[in-house]
Amino acid sequence: MSQNYFKLTSLLLICVHTLSYGQDESEHIQLVNTGLFSVRPETILSTRLDFTNTASGTFVNDGSVYYYKNFANDGYYGISSSLKSSSTFFILSNSTQAKRITGNSLASFYNIEFDSELNGDAFDLMNNIDISGLAHFKNGIVKVDPTKNAITSVSNGMVTFLAGARHENVGNHSFIEGAVEKKGNDRFEYPIGHKKYFRPAVISAPDDILATIVGQYYLDDAPFFTTHKKTAGVIKVLNEKEYWRLEGNLKQPNMVVLSLDWNEETTPPELLKNPEEELHIVRWDAKQQLWVDEGGVVDMSLNRVTTVAEIKDFGYFTLATVKKDWIIEGDVVIYNLVTPDGDGKNDYFIIDNINKYPNNRVEIYNRWGVKVYETTGYDPKGDGSTNVFRGYSDGKITVDKNKKLPSGTYYYVVTYEYKDANGSRMIKKAANLHVETN
DSSP string of 359-394, one letter each residue: SEEEEEE-TTS-EEEEEES-STTSSSSSS---SB-B
pLDDT for 12 equals 38
Encode pLDDT of 251-309 as tens digits.
Answer: 877 899 999 999 999 999 999 999 998 999 999 999 889 999 998 889 999 999 999 77
The number of helix segments (H) and strand segments (E) in the chain equals 2, 44
Encode pLDDT of 345-362 as tens digits.
Answer: 889 999 999 999 999 999
pLDDT band of 7, cuts 50, 70, 90: very low
Give the whole-angstrom CA distance, residue 228 versus residue 379: 26
Nearest to 138 by CA among 93, 188, 83: 93
pLDDT for 228 equals 97
Residue 371 contacts residue 397 (beta carbons within 8 Å): yes
User: Any idea which of 88-102, 129-143, 321-335 has the lowest mean pLDDT?
Assistant: 321-335
DSSP string of 31-43, one letter each residue: EEE-SEEEE-TT-
Q: Is the dihedral of CA 279, 283, 284, 290 positive or negative?
A: negative
Is the predicted pLDDT of residue 4 greater than 90, yes or no?
Answer: no
- Which of the two residues, 97 and 190, has the higher pLDDT score? 190
Confidence (pTM): 0.80
Q: 430: which strand partners?
A: 413
Give the whole-angstrom CA distance, residue 375 versus residue 389: 9
Encode pLDDT of 20-47 as tens digits.
Answer: 555 554 456 899 999 999 999 999 999 9
Q: How far is CA 258 from CA 46, 186, 223, 356, 362, in A?
A: 41, 13, 25, 17, 29
What three-state secondary structure class fits 321? strand
Q: Is 87 exposed, middle or buried (0-12, 13-18, 19+ CB in 10 A)?
A: buried
Give the whole-angstrom CA distance, residue 337 versus residue 343: 14
DSSP string of 135-189, one letter each residue: EEE-SSEEEEP-SBPTTTSSBS-EEEEPTT-EEE--BTTB-EES-EEEESS--EE
Please state whether 387 falls in left (phi above 0), alpha (psi between -120 and 50) or beta.
left
pLDDT band of 9, cuts 50, 70, 90: very low
Residue 50 contacts residue 31 (beta carbons within 8 Å): yes
C-alpha dihedral, 243 to 247 to 253 to 257, nearest 10°:
-40
Give the whole-angstrom CA distance, residue 357 versus residue 353: 8
pLDDT band of 18, cuts 50, 70, 90: low
Cα angle, residue 218 at apex, residues 215 and 223 outer, rounded to 5°: 130
Q: How many CB atoms lie within 10 A of CB 413?
A: 15
DSSP state of 264: T
Q: How many CB atoms lie within 10 A of CB 277?
A: 11
Q: Is 150 exposed, middle or buried (0-12, 13-18, 19+ CB in 10 A)?
A: exposed
Q: Is the dihedral of CA 324, 327, 328, 331 positive or negative?
A: negative
pLDDT for 345 equals 82
CB-side neighbour CA atoms (13 Å) of 201 = 33
